[in-house]
Amino acid sequence: MSTPGDGIPVQDTAFVSEQKRRAAEGGLNLKPSSRMPAPGSPEPRRAVGAAPAARIEDAVFSCRDVSVLYADKPGLSNVSIDIARQQVLAVIGPSGCGKSTFLRCLNRMNDTIAGARVTGSILLEGRDILGKEQDVAQLRAQVGMVFQKPNPFPKSIFENVAYGPRIHGLARGSADLDDIVCASLRRAGLWNEVKDRLSRPGTSLSGGQQQRLCIARTIAVQPEVILMDEPCSALDPVATARIEDLIDELRASYTIVIVTHSMQQAARVSQRTAYFHLGELIEVGETNRVFTNPRQKLTEDYISGRFG
């Protein structure tokens, strides 16, 4: 893990020298990809293939050589990436490229899948979260997650939001809990729609409202990072627009990582974009740059709609 770039604050441009270094090492890191031929995407194009570790100063997350095996089937290979504070990082790529797998590494949700094995190192604020001594409940309170399908608990709207603060003992008394619930629903832009029916079941809301309820539920625990796994894929365009506005607002207080299959959405909400392909990080950089001037052929092919 002692790469030349370690510790030196370099922006995305670092990946050029990184590539040279890897080429000099005889393409050691390319091995996993040669075991996974890409259907429909010619292998030779990615001769310099493996992704550079884009380093960022004062990163929230710092992932190095993260690999995931699902019952010995590779799900993610040697991903190294930094995630910047109070920014939105969009993770894009074709189906099965490992973007959700990567997301689920960040709060160790892969633990809940039998047979999944994660290697490498993921530092959250400098602390390795993959270690045995890491308390996953505490980690997940710090790194919240919003899922693809809105999935409120079979409880009232109030209880849905109050649940997290309750199990983590965040509220001093019921008045305090009321405040937390109210503030979270406000931040999620749901308060005005539900303030008169907090005792109704969470499932009585519309899909878009349910998703905002799930965001409120995540915010209520006061996380540092919010992971979103295709949060709008089950929603209509109007509800999607509201969630996207919300993401833009939340960026001021939270670091957000959003997996999306919509490149337009990635372009709209994110400041940085990472492109994954067949379990590897191909390219990461400022969203504008990645979409207008991709440096990898694979990225270009994907965003120009040649496959995916």
In the complex, the residues that contact other proteins under the rule CB under 8 A are 107, 109, 112, 114, 136-141, 144-145, 147-149, 151-155, 163-164, 167-168, 203, 214, 217-218, 221
Q: How many residues does the chain have?
A: 308
Q: Which is nearer to other proteins, 212 or 268 (CB)?
A: 212
Distance CA 256, CA 90 (A): 8
Q: Which is nearer to other proteins, 149 or 289 (CB)?
A: 149
Select 121 or 142, whichever has its Cβ closest to other proteins: 142
Question: Residue 43 Cβ, how far from other proteins at the closest point, in Å?
Answer: 35
Q: What is the DSSP string of 128-162?
A: ESSSTTS-HHHHHHHEEEE-SS----SSBHHHHHH
Closest separation between CB of residue 125 and other proteins, Å?
17
CB of 167 to other proteins, least distance (A): 5
Q: CB 20 → other proteins: shortest distance, Å?
A: 40
- State the Cα–Cα distance between residues 198 and 159, nearest whole angstrom: 8
Give the amino acid at 229: D
Smallest distance, Å, CB 222 to other proteins?
11
- In the bound state with other proteins, the residue whose beta carbon lies nearer, of 221 and 232, is 221
Comparison of 23 and 136: residue with beta carbon closer to other proteins: 136
Cα–Cα distance for residue pair 118/234, rounded to 1 Å: 29
Q: Which is nearer to other proteins, 11 or 138 (CB)?
A: 138
Query: Considering the complex, what minimum distance in angstroms separates the CB of residue 237 from other proteins?
Result: 21
What single DSSP character describes residue 20? H
Q: Report phi then psi at 290, rounded to 5.
A: -60, -40
